[in-house]
């Protein structure tokens, strides 16, 4: 038997990080088993679907390493609508489903509760199809439905506690439960790997598989992804869009690595590991049962490690979208003709050790490419105290006299200026840094001044001095 797994997102918004994790788990499992990964776009909610959302799914999968052409599909659920309706008809004809015209208010009136499920009122009343007549599945009155789950064992559900659920609406259109089952059957899906939030629907889907004369797939329900308050990640409340992390400058390798740790861990006391190790060691039956905490701070730390591990040339290339303003990323504060590739290459090794996401490269190097620095006013107020004007005067004079404009000479010269005033280097260089870069923190100062050059450095220091008059 060839293992066939599927990833079936809906094109109704940005690509959720939880969905990305499910896609990766399915992808790895298929690869381990010599099987097939199928991409199915569940696009039957026409009111909410947009073509750009589908393209967003494909692009996001590309980014995390599931590239187009390496999987089967994408298929579109809407293209299988005829099979969905045919399956509903077969279930009705076989007696496994029946029509019902009860409204929710009707059920509440009979049961006396808005929380009690459907009471089977139309089971044996012989109602035929018609406007407003929903088709309900006839759940067995007795016995149990056992779900074989690679992660959760064999969850067992009493059939009498499963209401006769709707499989086709009053207008004849099949609901998600039936469409999902029919699509999986049509595509020969053997394993369904998805989040545990779908587990309550699984016995219903398994009953549909059996009623349609097919063997159910093997299930694997992975833990739901939650925020720091242990609430399920929400698009409305949490930062969950994979594209947002990509555009902020997270590396695909770091994101892949981190997502796979949500509910699972590689062998040994390690978390940051090569992707080949994850592909080799991941096991569905080793996935934890407890909810997986998506810790953005931890992801950020992961990403910083991945950035620092890049060869410098790859780091320079990775920064280009933020330096040049290409794609969907916000343009930098300088004009294209102001960007100096050689200057950036000179400071790139320094910047690489100081940023956690690639978008942070801009505020670290913008002073190199602007006619004048972007002054952080809070930093200016905090740093430019009494005595700063005289210190800048002395520093300018000392720098003007330098024969060699290099980091070591600049450092020793400014140390001497500070020593005459009884100041340590940290206190001495603070006004110079703000004058030249506009900020109190950033790349190593003297290496930055070396790259910026004598003329531009002195011009900025003089301008700062005049502002202090």
- Domain ranges, residue 396: 377-467
pLDDT of the residue at 220: 97
pLDDT in tens, 202-231: 999 999 999 999 999 999 999 999 999 898
Q: What is the pLDDT of residues 350-372, one digit of tens each?
A: 999 999 999 999 999 999 999 99
The catalytic residue positions are: 235
Cα 438–336–309 angle (5° rounding)? Answer: 70
Q: Would you say residue 400 lies in a domain?
A: yes
| 384 found inside a domain | yes
pLDDT at 383 over 90: yes
The CATH number of the domain holding residue 397 is: 1.10.10.350
420 found inside a domain: yes
Domain membership flag for residue 263:
no
Question: Is 127 within the bounds of a domain?
Answer: no
Proportion of the chain above pLDDT 90, given as a percent: 84
Q: Band the pLDDT of 119: cuts 50, 70, 90.
A: confident
Average pLDDT, the chain: 94
- Report whether 262 contacts 21 (CB < 8 A): yes
Specify the pTM: 0.91
Domain count, the chain: 1
* Residue 228, in any domain of the structure: no
Question: Is 197 a member of any domain?
Answer: no
Q: Mean per-residue pLDDT for 27-39?
A: 98
Per residue in 412-462, pLDDT (tens digit) is 999 999 999 999 999 999 999 999 999 999 999 999 999 999 999 999 999
Domain presence at residue 396: yes
Q: What does the block give as tokens for 135?
A: 């088709």
């Amino acid at each position: 038997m060839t293992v066939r797994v599927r990833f079936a997102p809906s094109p109704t918004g940005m690509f959720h990080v939880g969905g990305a994790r499910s896609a990766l788990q399915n992808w790895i499992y298929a690869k381990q088993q010599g099987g097939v990964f199928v991409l199915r776009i569940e696009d039957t909610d026409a009111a909410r679907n947009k073509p750009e959302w589908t393209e967003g799914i494909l692009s996001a999968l590309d980014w995390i390493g599931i590239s187009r052409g390496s999987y089967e599909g994408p298929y579109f659920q809407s293209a299988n609508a005829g099979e969905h309706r045919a399956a509903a008809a077969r279930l009705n004809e076989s007696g496994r489903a029946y029509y019902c015209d009860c409204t929710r208010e009707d059920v509440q009136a009979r049961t006396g509760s808005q929380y009690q499920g459907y009471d089977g009122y139309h089971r044996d009343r012989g109602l035929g199809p018609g406007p407003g007549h929903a088709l309900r599945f006839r759940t067995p009155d007795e016995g149990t439905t056992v779900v074989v789950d690679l992660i959760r064992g064999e969850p067992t559900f009493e059939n009498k506690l499963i209401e006769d659920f709707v499989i086709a609406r009053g207008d004849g259109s099949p609901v998600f439960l039936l469409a999902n089952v029919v699509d999986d059957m049509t595509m020969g899906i053997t394993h369904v790997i998805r989040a545990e939030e779908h587990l309550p629907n699984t016995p219903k889907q398994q009953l549909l598989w059996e009623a349609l004369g097919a063997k159910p797939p093997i299930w694997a329900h992975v833990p739901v992804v939650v925020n720091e308050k242990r609430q399920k990640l929400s698009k409305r409340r949490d930062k969950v869009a994979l594209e947002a992390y990509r555009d902020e400058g997270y590396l695909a390798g770091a994101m892949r690595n981190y997502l796979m740790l949500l509910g699972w861990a590689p062998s040994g006391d390690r978390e940051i590991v090569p992707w080949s190790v994850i592909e080799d060691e991941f096991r569905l039956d080793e996935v934890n049962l407890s909810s997986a905490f998506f810790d953005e701070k931890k992801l950020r730390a992961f990403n910083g490690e991945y950035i620092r591990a890049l060869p410098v040339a790859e780091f320079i290339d990775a920064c280009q979208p933020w330096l040049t303003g290409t794609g969907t990323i916000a343009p930098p504060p300088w004009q294209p003709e102001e960007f100096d590739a050689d200057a950036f290459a000179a400071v790139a090794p320094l910047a690489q050790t100081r940023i956690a996401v690639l978008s942070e490269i801009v505020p670290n190097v913008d002073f190199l490419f602007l006619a004048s620095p972007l002054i952080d006013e809070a930093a200016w107020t905090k740093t430019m105290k009494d005595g700063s004007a005289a210190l800048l005067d002395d520093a300018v004079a000392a720098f003007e006299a330098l024969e060699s404009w290099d980091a070591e000479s600049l450092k020793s010269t400014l140390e001497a200026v500070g020593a005459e005033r009884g100041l340590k280097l940290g206190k001495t260089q603070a006004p110079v840094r703000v004058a030249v870069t506009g900020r109190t923190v950033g790349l190593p100062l003297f290496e930055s001044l070396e790259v910026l050059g004598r003329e531009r450095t002195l011009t900025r220091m003089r301008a700062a001095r005049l502002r202090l008059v």
